[in-house]
Chain A
Amino acid sequence: MDTVLRIILQRLALGLVTLLVVSIVIFVAVNLLPGDFAELILGQGSTPEAVASIRRDLGLDQPMVARYFQWLSGMVTGDLGTSFAQLNFQTNLGGAGGVTVIEQIAPRFSNTLFLAGVTAMIAVPISLILGVLAALYRNSAFDKATNIFTLSSVSSPEFFMAYLLILFLAVLNPILPSLSNIYDGMAFSDRLNKSLLPALTLTLVVMAQMMRMTRAAIINLLASPYIEMARLKGISPIRVIVRHALPNALAPIITVIALNLAYLITGVVVVEVVFVYPGIGQLFVDSVKIRDIPVVQACCLIFAAAYILLNLTADILAIISNPRLRHPK
């Protein structure tokens, strides 16, 4: 167990370092902006005095390295600054009021997590079942049809799948709502109902890889001697696959599932925009459009952190599920 623990700790440390470097990249990228935030806020008709005043308020007159560490320590303690769009006289004069970035992001982040959770709940079991079935009936019409269907759904743009689902499940047959106007204090079933269409869209997007990996991993094992043995014992094909092949194929499948959940983080942006789902992706795109730099920076870092974390989880799960590492000689 010692080796595993050491490797996991190594990976965790590596992930932290990566995150730190990524934060530097994001910070430097934003500072490549011509002029600075102060001129950006005030626009073209600004007087030099006003610009200087805001620069002082935002601490822009300090050197870049100092600002970076200030920003980073703010990030760690949860103080992400104040969004430009929410700046007003009161905040400029140092008073309270105005919405801080964290107040904007926190509720939306939990909404996005909810959506990703619902998607995972639907996508993982379906793709596992379909993958096992495709391996069981390999090279049959069913296998080919699933192959074509999943390949098409994964290679179409997210918004195409989203609008197709809206067309068939919301407009032509009013079964599900096409707008996900979620708010606080909503009943759970209502919330689920409203986020079902975006979740289904994301399911279609991430399902293909998981299903194909399940199928490939199982079929890879079918030539092994112990599967041959199980077959010769007279065990039914489904039992051979579920009891004998699947447990040994779990490692690559788990890795692909974790990687696809990481992909959800990116896919969520477009889907949230289509369904007007109040998640962090929607906030990110809106802030990009109005160049609300503090929010863009914070969202970017959160996305990157989630992405790194899930990739790390995939890594660690792959290590844990490898018996050779778990039981070193």
Chain B
Amino acid sequence: MTWWMWIIVALVVMGGIAWAMRAVGQMATGNAPAFRDMPFGVAYGYVIGVAFLAVVVWAYLQSMSAETAVANKFYFVGRAVEGVIMFSIAAYLFRMLGRAVGTYWTRKMFRSMPLTAAFGILVMLIYAFVAIFAGLLAPYGQAEILPFANIVPGGNPALGGDPNHIMGTDQIGRDILSRLIYGAQNTVGIAFVTTLLAFFIGSSLGFLAATLGGWLDQLLSRTVDVLMAIPSLIFALLLMTIASVWAPQLGIPLTYFMVLIIAVIDSTRVFRLARAVGANIVVMDYIEAAKLRGEGLGYLVFKEILPNATAPLLAEFGLRFCFVFLTIAALSFLGVGIQPPLADWGTMVRDSAAFINYAAFAPTAALPPLLAAGAIALLTVGVNFVVDWMLQKTSGLKE
């Protein structure tokens, strides 16, 4: 039998179990309301949930098996389960801390916060800490080439590891752990700067278009329409091709070009939002009053419109940061993004991806690409959780 037949059989068997469970429950409790009114879907859901938990627990126990082959096979599930549990506990403690310490407003905010949002904030804080103190945390420099290349991760000398390099070294002898830590500085830092730039361009032009209107608004809006008609990653790749020819001739590092290109492409999305929000604010009476007072354009944009548009722009900033971060990671992964010797997660994934094929007999060897890719995923997931919570809170989307 092939794998998909097994899935169908398992689903059918679980459906049978669900039906039997409900029937037994009805008989045993004398048709108690909880069982009498239980739809089949709910019973099925319970069975699937229990089966899923059972499989996870079983896999986790397997990962601690004495047999190396079995333990290797379930190594990643084991570490993933541990990671999820550890992060859940950390997020829970973090939320408790937030509820106890701080000002009235932060405590109030933490009280209504779901665990996912607390997790997101915690992740963002950890990344900020690592990015700022990367120089102190990393045992070696990011471009420092050590005498020993290709040391296996794990730190076990019997398997070709080295306790001084827990994550091993890469193909030219750079410490992978240090590069992972510096990656927080480079990848996150560059993405952050790019997003700031995109917001600066997008929102100032957007507010300007909303305030002035007329031909400027038309010109900017139509330009943005055209730029948005090209898929952003494709457009970025096209422009990076051109920039890669220009960069050595002008003597400017390619990374600067990348920041500028992605900022311009992403500012189109910011422009749309800023213009829409701004257009709603411009028709307000207090803007009219400010105009009658004879205030200048700068005062209108920065003192009247901007403070009233911060909330939607802030949520957009989180989402935009995720997009920019993912675009930069994708470009680096494809080999045209952040250039060596700067340590960067996307490039690290590309360079070490082949080691995933050794996961079956040397699980630790497959860790560098997965950790680098996971580091990207963890941050974007965290930011998305926070943004999701903020949007839910402001839009009141309960039911």
Contacts and interface: CB of A to CB of B under 8 A. Distances in A.
B231 A304 contact: yes
A186 interface: no
Interface string A284-307: 110011010100100110011001
Given A158-B330, A266-B232, A289-B335, A171 B356 contact: yes
B213 interface: no
Given A34-B249, A166-B356, 18 more contacts: A21-B226, A25-B230, A29-B242, A133-B41, A140-B45, A142-B45, A154-B384, A159-B373, A163-B353, A222-B399, A266-B232, A270-B233, A288-B240, A291-B245, A300-B230, A300-B235, A304-B231, A307-B230
Contacts of B369: 163
B377 interface: yes
B107 interface: no
Contacts of A285: 237, 334-335
A160 B373 contact: yes
Contact of A266 (B116, B234, B244, B388): B234
A8 B55 CA distance: 52
A167 B76 contact: yes
11 contacts: A29-B238, A34-B245, A137-B41, A154-B384, A155-B322, A157-B326, A160-B374, A288-B238, A288-B241, A291-B244, A291-B245
Contacts of A273: 333-334
Interface in A263-317: 265-266, 269-270, 273-274, 284-285, 288-289, 291, 293, 296, 299-300, 303-304, 307-308, 311
* Listed residue (A19, A155, A285, A291) with the most chain B CB atoms within 10 angstroms of its CB: A155
Interface in A218-245: 219, 222-223, 236-238
Interface residues of A, number: 68
B333 A270 contact: yes
Q: Which 3 A-B pairs have the closest CB atoms?
A: A156-B377, A160-B373, A155-B384
Interface in A161-185: 163-164, 166-168, 171-173, 175, 178
A137 B45 contact: yes
Nearest to A139: B399
B239 interface: yes
A50 interface: no
B99 to A, nearest CB: 21
A126 interface: no
Given A138-B399, A157-B376, A171-B360, A270 B245 contact: no
Interface string A9-42: 0000000001101100110011011100000100
B231 A25 contact: no
B357 interface: yes
A187 interface: no
A72 interface: no
A93 interface: no
Contacts, number: 167
A223 B346 CA distance: 46
A223 B397 CA distance: 13
A307 B229 contact: yes
A7 B336 CA distance: 42
A59 to B, nearest CB: 20
Given A18-B229, A155-B381, A270 B399 contact: no
A133 B381 CA distance: 23
A76 interface: no
Given A29-B242, A32-B242, A167 B356 contact: yes
Nearest to B48: A142
B302 interface: no
A151 B399 contact: no
A155 B374 CA distance: 11
A155 B242 contact: no
Contact of B41 (A32, A136, A223, A296): A136
A308 B376 contact: no
A148 interface: yes
B330 to A, nearest CB: 5
B380 A155 contact: yes
B225 interface: yes
B183 to A, nearest CB: 13
Contacts of B225: 18
A92 interface: no
Contact of A152 (B49, B227, B381, B397): B381
A269 B335 CA distance: 13
A163 B356 contact: yes
A65 interface: no
B366 interface: yes
Interface in B333-365: 333-336, 346, 349, 353, 356-357, 359-360
A96 interface: no
Contacts of B360: 171-172
Given A34-B245, A151-B388, A167-B356, A137 B42 contact: yes
A85 to B, nearest CB: 14
Nearest to A303: B234
A1 interface: no
Contact of B376 (A160, A171, A291): A160
Contacts of A157: 326, 329-330, 333, 346, 373, 376-377, 380
Contacts of A133: 41
B232 A270 contact: no
B180 to A, nearest CB: 15
A172 B226 contact: no
